[in-house]
Amino acid sequence: MANPVLPSSGVLSPLGLDAVRLSPGFWGDRVALNREVTIAHCQEWEEREGWIGNFRGERPRRGREFSDSEIYKLLEAMAWADHPGLPALAEIVAGAQEGDGYLNTRWSGSRYTDLEWGHELYCYGHLIQAGVARLRTHGEDTLTRVAVRAADHVCRRFMEGTQTCGHPVIEMALVELYRVTGTERYLEMARRFVERRGLPALADIPFGRAYYQDDLPVRQAQVFRGHVVRALYLASGVVDVAVETGDEELLKAVEAQWERTVARRTHLTGGMGSRHADESFGEDYELPPDRAYNETCASIASVMLSHRLLLATGDVRYADLAERTLHNMLATGVALDGRSFFYANPLQVRVPAVPLDGVNHAPEGGLRSPWFDVSCCPNNIARTLASLPAYVATATADGIQIHHPTPAEIRHGELAVKVETGYPWDGAVTVRALTGGRGRIALRVPAWAAGARLTHRGEVREVAPGYAVADGPWRTGDELRLELPMAPRWTFPDRRVDALRGSAAVERGPLVYCAESVADEPPLGDLAARVAPPVEHHVDGVVELEVAASLGGGESSGWPYGHEPDGRPSGADAGLRLVPYHRWGNRGPATMRVWLPVG
């Protein structure tokens, strides 16, 4: 089963890359572009920056202390994509492994002298995930042997004692290696890493121990906090440990943390991480649009966590958040040509970014960059898109569940179906039986889709958010048709989100929309939109929207405060074009805003 996550128990079983094949469409096109362009792009940059050369022993060593992990993420992407470049790259990595399994191009010679910041176990985590991907798509080879030797080394070195790594990911990697090999010490090592956190296991640092989730034991925490990627990778590993050890209390703890975080610390796009400082969560309802950090990797980590919780519980709200995050964060993180990437994903950009030669331009968001000094996001996108088919559908003993509608062929047991849809532009989803067979087919109906209709055997019925289900038996050619209402929706923030008061945003289907202004288009700093039904424009297969808004002339009164509430800007209403947030920034430097002042 070609899956990044394959729990031994849970309400839903994931269907892997061998069971779900994407066809051309919103996600199929992105997965194909990733395989054909982005993977090679990442490898070229890792070679150019010397990060691959580090494994060949080239000196001086180049890159940050965690750069090894980028090569491992790339190897994982290559494994899922069955990329021909994998064996040669794996040989280079293997050449740097020491006799006892230790492998790190930065810390060799001074092993484990800085667990807080060294990222050695973090790097192993990504290596092991790459190894698992290869075992599940190909079988044993150089890469898998390197990964297993590293995991064995970790177990020998860390099974006893109180230590762990400043950056989680080893936890979920070890559980997955346990799942694929059956070797129980990997699960036990992961369990111990989870339980050690917060005792505490790491030194205090100026950022505070919450930065790396070492302030509290996992079971006692109420909400995700600190560095977002760390928090969500840890939580993913905790779910894996809880599922494999049957620890209901531990699973419930993460569910409660997820719930509170989604309710109070998540942006409309699904992005998590309000603060540039420490790349961290803010306090409850601290959700500024312009200063939102929302690292692309954090959104990937959020999808990984929600997917695990969905598998464990079958609760549809986890798939709802994953859909929001995939369409508005993952799809935003990479340019339409597959060659540049966002690191931060604010919901408002006030000044167009200035393009620079070379790497790392506008890491704070505003312009995608071909590479970064810290290039976690491009490689994370590559491995996630390469394994994306594994997130689309699941199975139970009585049938299949399609969580993310996108053109695909899905096979499980007796059932083989073809999914046809223009989603997310169009709300019609048709599932056609390719063979006869028994089994129930369930299609997710998102929380926003009140009034959805399901057509089955000529009968039309309204279906509530959750899952629309239809039972077989199916004959070849039988159809099931779901129609999701795609009228644009105005969305208003909770009154406690101070930074958004007086604003509203527009969504359509799973997509969040934004106003974007390039070159000589009107600036977006002073406007007020009318809350009225937006007009749809179909442009080259993309749905854009238009709302009425008055634009101000940018005049200043000399003091930005007064003794009466401020009114609307002076300009007459005009059409303000909105584009899907995931498409913004593809036309050059621009200003952008998701939240529009209304009134």
Q: For binding to Zn ion (CB under 5 A), which residues are involved?
A: 295, 297, 376-377
Residue 198 neighbours by CB distance under 10 Å: 21
Least distance to Zn ion, CB of residue 488, Å: 31
Residue of minimal Cβ distance to Zn ion: 297
Residue 238 neighbours by CB distance under 10 Å: 32
Least distance to Zn ion, CB of residue 301, Å: 9
User: Between 244 and 295, whose beta carbon lies closer to Zn ion?
Assistant: 295
Least distance to Zn ion, CB of residue 328, Å: 16
User: Between 16 and 333, whose beta carbon lies closer to Zn ion?
Assistant: 333
Distances in Å between the Cα of 450 and the Cα atoms of 326, 462, 486 are: 21, 9, 10
User: Between 93 and 377, whose beta carbon lies closer to Zn ion?
Assistant: 377
Q: Is there a contact between 52 and 46 (Cβ–Cβ < 8 Å)?
A: yes
User: Between 272 and 297, whose beta carbon lies closer to Zn ion?
Assistant: 297
* DSSP helix/strand/coil, 255: helix
Least distance to Zn ion, CB of residue 506, Å: 28
User: Between 155 and 377, whose beta carbon lies closer to Zn ion?
Assistant: 377
With tokens 């070379």, the residue in question is 358
User: Between 214 and 295, whose beta carbon lies closer to Zn ion?
Assistant: 295
Least distance to Zn ion, CB of residue 363, Å: 10
Residue 232 CA to residue 242 CA, distance in Å, equals: 15
User: Between 291 and 444, whose beta carbon lies closer to Zn ion?
Assistant: 291
Least distance to Zn ion, CB of residue 310, Å: 23
| Per-residue tokens: 368 | 């995608």
User: Between 377 and 416, whose beta carbon lies closer to Zn ion?
Assistant: 377
**Cα 536–538–540 angle (5° rounding)?**
155
Beta bridge partner(s), residue 226: none
Q: Is 373 exposed, middle or buried (0-12, 13-18, 19+ CB in 10 A)?
A: exposed
Distances in Å between the Cα of 351 and the Cα atoms of 54, 168, 516 are: 38, 35, 11
Residue 371 CA to residue 501 CA, distance in Å, equals: 36
Least distance to Zn ion, CB of residue 132, Å: 21
Q: Are strands 13-14 and 20-22 parallel, antiparallel or unpaired?
A: unpaired
The CA dihedral of 79, 82, 85, 88, to the nearest 10 degrees, is 60
Q: Is there a contact between 70 and 367 (Cβ–Cβ < 8 Å)?
A: no
Beta bridge partner(s), residue 401: 394, 442
User: Between 297 and 511, whose beta carbon lies closer to Zn ion?
Assistant: 297
User: Between 121 and 329, whose beta carbon lies closer to Zn ion?
Assistant: 329
* DSSP helix/strand/coil, 459: strand
- Write out the H or E segment, with its range, that includes residue 125: helix 120-137
Least distance to Zn ion, CB of residue 229, Å: 7
Residue 128 CA to residue 174 CA, distance in Å, equals: 7
User: Between 333 and 407, whose beta carbon lies closer to Zn ion?
Assistant: 333
User: Between 375 and 406, whose beta carbon lies closer to Zn ion?
Assistant: 375
Least distance to Zn ion, CB of residue 297, Å: 3
Residue at 461: amino acid letter: R
| Per-residue tokens: 294 | 């929302």
Residue 96 neighbours by CB distance under 10 Å: 17
Least Cα distance to 364 among 345, 341, 338 occurs for 345
**Residue 57 phi, psi (nearest 5):** 85, 10
DSSP letter at 266 equals: B
Least distance to Zn ion, CB of residue 376, Å: 3
Residue 7 neighbours by CB distance under 10 Å: 20
Residue 458 CA to residue 456 CA, distance in Å, equals: 5
Residue 536 CA to residue 183 CA, distance in Å, equals: 55
Least distance to Zn ion, CB of residue 296, Å: 5
Least Cα distance to 71 among 333, 303, 383 occurs for 383
Least distance to Zn ion, CB of residue 93, Å: 21
User: Between 167 and 317, whose beta carbon lies closer to Zn ion?
Assistant: 167
Q: 44 CB contacts (<8 Å, ≥6 apart)? A: none
Least distance to Zn ion, CB of residue 509, Å: 27
